Structure 1
Amino acid sequence: MNLDKVAHLIDQATLKAKPIQQKDFPDLSLQDAYTVQRKTINLRLERGEHITGFKLGFTSRAKMEQMGVHDLIWGFLTSGMQINPFSEVDLNKYIKPNAEPEIAFRVSQPITESIPLKDVPRYIDKMAVAIELIDTRYKKFTFSLEDLVADNCSSAGYCIGEWQDLQEDISDLPIALMANNKVLEQGCSSAILNNPLQPIIELSRLASKVGVKIAPGHIILAGAATKHIPLLKNNEITTQIDKIGAVSFRTK
């Protein structure tokens, strides 16, 4: 089976909210997996979506342990994934939706090469609290690193709170993920590579290797600081981060 067919299978699983089995296609190398990922994004672009940014995965030990993998990964965000704050999310559009808390950053200058940590304020002007909705397109929520990358790192939606000016010291902020005002997961921003700004550096390195440009206005989700929680109907999901703010959406 060629990689175009693999991308088509994953894309159709996304559109129809019907999971596929990894056995439906052969083992992929990591390079193959990123090729499939980009092909699935291209199918979205052909339907009129546009790239709005990028996400990092496995930037915390909690997520690595939860998913049983140990490598940093990245994927794309598109306009079709955007969830407006306080809006309702129809869970019937997803297979096995989960939510995780994030810190989002807004790019102000093009990033075309690997940048050092000290230069982050030159390229990032805003930050915000965010929720990422993740959803596997596979029948079982277990997969290899390559399977996950091919599936665009399980990215399915994102909800971003009010933008505020970038703060350079955000490495020790309490984070809570709540359902109906009940805290289900809590952690600290230091769990994100010890410094939530570090994923920006990692993304600049990884993207520049494959010639992907990070443009002004693009969003970067730095990765979760806690384990994810399953999404259930008729809940209000909230992420709250000390000194940054809170954002919520409802499920139906």
Structure 2
Amino acid sequence: MNSEALAIRLDDAARNAVETPQFDSEGTLSLEQAYAIQRLSIQRRLTRGEQRIGVKMGFTSRAKMVQMGLSDVIWGRLTDAMLIEEGGSVEASRFVHPRCEPEIAFILKRELSGIVTGPQALAAVEAIAPALEIIDSRYQNFRFTLPEVIADNASSSGLVIGPWNRPDIDFSNLGLTLNINGQVAHTGSTAALLGHPLRSLVAAARLAEQAGEPLQPGWIVLAGGATAAEWVHPGDYVSVEMQTLGSAGFHLAGISQQRVSK
């Protein structure tokens, strides 16, 4: 299959919440080809009227990068249709294999692109917030290779943003918990994000320039998962509690309708 056909397949799988077979089970696709498929898939969403609102960063744990044989982070594109109201509900039928991870979010006040230092990146930040990302691989049996993950928009499917805070707070090592129905599922720290979340934003600026898509004022950058991702199920209330910055949460409602695309 060519890139356009694969982009259509993945877009349809995400839009209809259906599983789709792997197309690169040996991992022979280049990362450049994988990102081209991602771009084409997201362009279909934009053509339908969705709006770009930012980017998400992935594999921001050094240990995860080593495990995956990577020398760099990966990234995906965010649209307004992925936003979930803080404290609100989202139907489980929107997802195939939903998991959730706690993150820190940046919102930008000016364009950011290219090779920048940490202080330069911070100067472009309007505010920071605790956040949750719902990640959802659409592949059958939850099996996939690295190129397939990238092509599938780095599994990004939803985000919840908590209260915005001043960016001059020291957010380098904030303790946090990921909670399911009020019970702590994981504990972690923002320091898990490349040693400092700001390094994730620096990486986002560099990768955005390489893709010809500079980070824009008003865009959100999700800095990456600060703990392992946790499976979520219909009826769950998922929340993050982050030192100093506050909390964010959502309810996964309904009955999951997992189907298989041909």
TM-score w.r.t. length of structure 1: 0.95
RMSD of aligned Cα (Å): 1.7
- Measure how far apart 1:112 and its partner are: 2.9
Query: CA contact under 8 A between 1:148 and 1:154: conserved in structure 2?
Result: yes
**Are 1:195 and 2:196 an aligned pair?**
yes
Query: CA contact under 8 A between 2:65 and 2:73: conserved in structure 1?
Result: no
- Partner in structure 2 of residue 2 of structure 1: 2
- Post-superposition Cα deviations, 1:169-188, rounded to whole Å, max 9, x if no partner, equal 21111110001110001111
Q: Which runs of 4 or more aligned residues in structure 1 lie more than 3 Å from their structure 2 counterparts after TM superposition?
A: 23-27, 61-65, 67-71
1:23 alignment partner AA? F
Matches within 5 A, 1:132-171: 132-167=133-168, 169-171=170-172
2:14 alignment partner AA? T
- Measure how far apart 1:62 and its partner are: 5.9
- Percent identity between the two aligned chains: 36
- Measure how far apart 1:17 and its partner are: 1.1
Q: Which segment drifts farther, 33-42 or 116-125?
A: 116-125
Instruction: Output the CA distance in 2 between the equivalents of 1:225 and 1:31.
Output: 26
Instruction: Output the CA distance in 1 between the equivalents of 2:228 and 2:103.
Output: 11
- Partner in structure 1 of residue 90 of structure 2: 89
Q: Which segment drifts farther, 134-143 or 157-166?
A: 134-143
Instruction: Output the CA distance in 1 between the equivalents of 2:122 and 2:24.
Output: 45
Instruction: Output the CA distance in 2 between the equivalents of 1:151 and 1:58.
Output: 15
- Measure how far apart 1:69 and its partner are: 5.2
- Measure how far apart 1:63 and its partner are: 4.7
1:9 alignment partner AA? R
Structure 2 unaligned regions, length at least 5: 254-262
Structure 1 unaligned regions, length at least 5: none
Instruction: Output the CA distance in 2 between the equivalents of 1:201 and 1:177.
Output: 25
- Measure how far apart 1:61 and its partner are: 4.1
Q: Secondary structure at the match of 1:233?
A: coil
Query: CA contact under 8 A between 2:176 and 2:243: conserved in structure 1?
Result: yes
Q: How many residues align?
A: 251
Query: CA contact under 8 A between 2:24 and 2:148: conserved in structure 1?
Result: no
- Partner in structure 2 of residue 14 of structure 1: 14
Instruction: Output the CA distance in 1 between the equivalents of 2:24 and 2:199.
Output: 37
TM-score w.r.t. length of structure 2: 0.91
Query: CA contact under 8 A between 2:99 and 2:229: conserved in structure 1?
Result: yes
Matches within 5 A, 1:86-125: 86-125=87-126
- Partner in structure 2 of residue 127 of structure 1: 128
2:9 alignment partner AA? L
